[in-house]
Amino acid sequence: MALAIDIGCRITHGEWPAGTVLPTEGEIQTRFGVSRTVVREAIRHLAAKGLVAVGPKVGTRVRASTEWNMLDADVLRWHLMRETQRPFVESLYEMRLINEPEAARLAAERITPERLAELEAALHGMEINPRGSPELVAADLAFHRIILEATGNPILRSLGTVIERSLTISFSLSWRQNPQTDTVIQHARVFEAISRGDGDAAALFMRQLIESACGDVLASLYADGSDTAPPGRRPAPEHAVLPEGPAASIPVTVDGLT
């Protein structure tokens, strides 16, 4: 929904900070040339994600970011469309570092022969598909999702589904930076550790893989060299290169509701 995307981007990008009262339904209708039904549907969409609150006589207000559903696929994607993306990219990879190494450790203990065969097939997909291709990215995503599923933990399984869109974007960026053979080797180390039931090695190699991917994504986002230091060392630049892929095709206006 174009209207929800436009308003959602304004909110997540900080153009409309917490406490901001959105224009009235009539004003939005006039400025966007949409019907009242479209406006109300967009507001309901954003309210469901925790971005806005609607109250009688007070209108629609932007909620504090602590109340947003940050794992919502759209909210994640809108954050990745910001010009100053680095803090959110670092947060995304920090979350992955907290969860995925331990998931790999559990997978080494719990994976079934069927899941192991699926994991090997995903690794093979990374070996045979062209660098940066949709098929390769899909194989990469499948590799990580299978490991989460192999834990048998339903919450960890859901994690892969929730962040799938944003990981697809970040995987596309990291594959463009890192030589394909190096990335395949990193994933192969994780696979081999899981296949032999070595949880400690699986966790270690998964941590190294994610740290490397984070560096690759930041290098791609800041291709002009303005900010390629390790995470947390330097502030984000005022302007960063937006990623190519699904998010890049979504129009974002920045000069008011016109």
pLDDT digits (tens, 9 = 90+) for 88-105: 888 888 989 999 999 999
Residue 228, pLDDT score? 39
What tokens does 36 get? 């009242």
Under 8 Å CB-to-CB from 206, ≥6 apart: which residues?
A: 100, 101, 103, 104, 147, 190
Under 8 Å CB-to-CB from 88, ≥6 apart: which residues?
A: 79, 80, 82
Residue 249, pLDDT score? 32
Positions of the chain with pLDDT under 70: 163, 165-166, 169, 172-173, 175-178, 223-258
Residue 226, pLDDT score? 53
Residue 175, pLDDT score? 67
Residue 245, pLDDT score? 34
